Amino acid sequence: MLKITNLQKTFNPGTVNEKVALCGLDLTLADGDFVTVIGGNGAGKSTLLNAIAGVWKPDYGTIELDGIDVTNMPEHKRAKFLGRVFQDPMKGTAPDMEIAENLAIASKRGIKRKFRWGVKKSDRKQYKELLATLELGLENRLSTKVGLLSGGQRQAVTLLMATLNRPKLLLLDEHTAALDPKTASKVLYLTNKIVSENHLTTLMITHNMHDAIEYGNRLIMMHEGEIVVDVSGEEKKKLTIEQLLQMFEVSSGSKFGSDKAILSK
Amino acid sequence: MAFLNTLPGAVAEGLIWGLLAIGVYISYKVLDIADLTVDGSVCTGACVCAVLIGVGCPVIPAVIVAFLAGAVTGVVTGLLHTALGIPSILAGILTQLMLYSVNLTILGGKSLATIDPRTNRLLLNMSDNPKSIIVMIGIVAAVIIGLWLFFYTEIGLTLKSTGDNADMSRAQGVDVSRNKVIGLAISNGIVALAGAMLAQYKGSANINDGRGAIVIGLAAIFIGLSVSLKIKPNFVVSLIGVTCGGVIYYIVYNFVILLGLKTDFLKMLSAIIVAIFLAVPYLKTTHFQSKKTVPPIVKNTTGGEGDA
């Protein structure tokens, strides 16, 4: 489904702020894989997701989605394949537009938009049913401006928007990090539900080791722009945080650098 | 009494500037771009319309060509901004400066083109204010209905989201750059349409028409929205409010002239109105609101028994 070959990216090359974000990263995802990504600050996790989404072009390497080379495809064209939820709950929805209008825009992701009525009656009915599955009481607030919702509600709506048109790949960039613990676990529960019901191929960055182990069928750990740990299947199911930290130290030759990730359970 | 006599004229001219304000609303409020092309494109609309009528072109085609010319100016600004990466405010200034030369060329190197309302069949003119008001209400209504239909289509919704949240739009497969160009074309097309109406109303097009037009447009938007948002915050009501804002602006404008303000100071007045409307929301958050919403924490200094 996703095939990344020798991906390299350096920010601000030739300046004092030069930062090698990705150095020759290879990654292949099979259809239906739910991969959690963990790593310290500056490990290159978000850089990896942004490269796949096409926020900027990599310096070197190729990205293939569903057998199509998308390395040079602009962000809005690549969106056809991708569902995205950002860390910042404000980033995924248009605040001055109604919930129904946001969903209507998402429902046409990857489809040629025309001069047809944007939100039809039948659409509203469908959106109502979908919103009801979130169990947040949003099904009766279709005409509410999204800007009036809480961060957690906005993140749940973004999740719905990202998956309304089945994406080839779902990209979740620490999408619960900005939420309070209770809301975060609710959004994570919804994520797991939507991903497993639709068998979505998913790449989820998290700062929480516990979540990284609990969710998904494969876990990768990044360090200085490379993948240093990659466990899947039965091995991942039995994994503990202590084992994970040990594997990290062995393969990267350094201590895991994020207290936040170790401490949050 | 003198004030009442000027009222029909103020309403007619206010409606023309209200139409211009609808154009500015598309760029400033929907796309979130302060587009300074407007000062040039309103003049382009006036010049194109006046010159075409002058060479014997019927009025309706002349107005349509003026609209299209305005749309082209919007495309130029849009491409300067999106394809060449020039900040939008600077892109608008550059197009505006280009348009000064273009407009002079359209006028044939002169600074003025006149249209005689007696020999040409015009849609409106200051010699017949009641008719002008009816024509302008019709045009404004047609533009608002057109925009209403357009902005609720699949494509129109993405134009709204482009200005509201560009990140979200790109993630949903929206070509943000293309939408900005389309939006600026529509905006400046409407502005040029207002220019064409202004030329007919005044019976002339002047190279200096439109200086400060963006400021008048913004004033109309702020005045109109301060009322309409309280009634119902939706697209159509906002557009109607913005048009009324233009009318209110012109009534106040005429009133101030009657009070004896030197016309030299009118542009100063327009700028001050806009500055006040832009400053008030900011000052509210920095100077006033915090005191109201967050009560000061009163420290308990007398009884310290509970603290161990």
Name the residue type at position B69.
Answer: A
- For the domain bounded by B2-289, which CATH number is listed? 1.10.3470
Query: Which residues in chain A are contacts of B157 at CB distance < 8 A?
Result: 97, 101, 104-105, 118-119
Identify the DSSP state of A122: H
ipTM: 0.92
| Average pLDDT along chain A | 91
Which residues in chain A touch residue B175, judged by CB atoms under 8 angstroms apart? 76
Using the Cβ of A95 and the Cβ atoms of chain B, whether some distance falls under 8 Å is answered with yes
Q: For A181-218, how does the pLDDT look when each residue is reduced to its tens digit (9 = 90+)?
A: 999 999 999 999 999 999 999 999 998 889 999 999 99
Q: Give the chain A residue nearest B171 (alpha carbons).
A: A79
- Out of B150, B153, B161, the one facing A94 most closely (by C-beta) is B161
Chain A interface disruption, residue of B28, B29, B159, B168, most A CBs within 10 A: B168
| Across B232-248, average pLDDT | 93
Quick one: closest CA in A to B148, which residue? A117
Measured distance CA(B58)–CA(B49) in Å, rounded: 10
Q: pLDDT tens for residues B18-60?
A: 999 999 999 999 999 999 999 999 999 999 999 999 999 999 9
- Cα dihedral A164, A169, A173, A179, rounded to 10, equals 30
Distance from CA of B246 to the nearest CA of A (A): 24
Residue B1 has pLDDT above 80, yes or no: no
- SS3 for A11? strand
Average pLDDT of the residues in A94-123: 95
Contact A94, A105 (CB under 8 A): yes
Closest CA to B123 of B113, B114, B136, B112: B136
pLDDT-based confidence at B293, cuts 50/70/90? low
> What number of residues does chain A have?
265
- CATH number given to A2-81+167-263: 3.40.50.300
Question: How far is the CA of A108 from the CAs of A103, B162, B181, in angstroms?
Answer: 9, 15, 21
Whole-angstrom Cα distance, residue A165 to residue A257? 38
Average pLDDT over residues A153-162: 96
Question: Dihedrals φ, ψ of A98, to 5°?
Answer: -70, 160
Model's pTM, two decimal places? Answer: 0.91
Say whether pLDDT at A255 is over 90.
no
For chain A, the structural domain boundaries read 2-81+167-263, 90-164
Q: Domain-by-domain residue ranges, chain B?
A: 2-289
- Please list every residue in chain B whose beta carbon sits closer than 8 Å to the beta carbon of residue A164: none
Interface test with B, best of A81, A113, A116, A173 (most B CBs within 10 A): A113
Structure tokens at B246: 């233009």
Kindly state whether A118 is in contact with chain B, defined as any CB-CB distance less than 8 angstroms: yes
Question: Which residue from A99, A92, A10 is spatially nearest to A57, judged by alpha carbons?
Answer: A10
Query: Can you say how many angstroms the Cα of residue B91 is from the centroid of all Cα atoms in its chain?
Result: 17
For residues A97-109, average pLDDT: 96
Contacts of A217 (CB under 8 A, 6+ apart): A33, A34, A35, A232, A233, A236
Residue A97 has its nearest CB partner, among B154, B164, B175, at B164
Residues A2-34: b if buried by 16+ CB within 10 A, e if exposed: bebeebbbbeeeeeeeeeebbeebebebeeebb
Residues B64-101: tens digit of each pLDDT: 999 999 999 999 999 999 999 999 999 999 999 999 99
- Per CB-CB distance under 8 Å, the chain A contacts of B172 are 79, 105-106, 108-109, 161
Closest Cα in chain B, distance from residue A113 (Å): 6
Q: What is the 3-state secondary structure (H, E, C) of B152-164?
A: CEHHHHHHHHHHH
CB A190 within 8 A of CB A136: no
| pLDDT (tens digit per residue) in B175-226 | 999 999 999 999 999 999 999 999 999 999 999 998 999 999 999 999 999 8
Asked if the C-beta of A168 comes within 8 angstroms of chain B's C-beta atoms, the answer is: no
Backbone angles phi, psi at A143, to 5 degrees: -95, 5
3-state class (DSSP) for residue A19: strand
Strand order in the sheet with A218-223: A82-85, A169-173, A202-205, A34-39, A218-223, A226-232
Residues in chain A with CB shorter than 8 Å from the CB of B168 are 91-94, 102
- The answer to whether B172 contacts A101, with C-beta atoms less than 8 Å apart, is no
Q: Which of A49, A73, A76, A109 to mutate to test the interface with B (most CBs of B within 10 A)?
A: A76
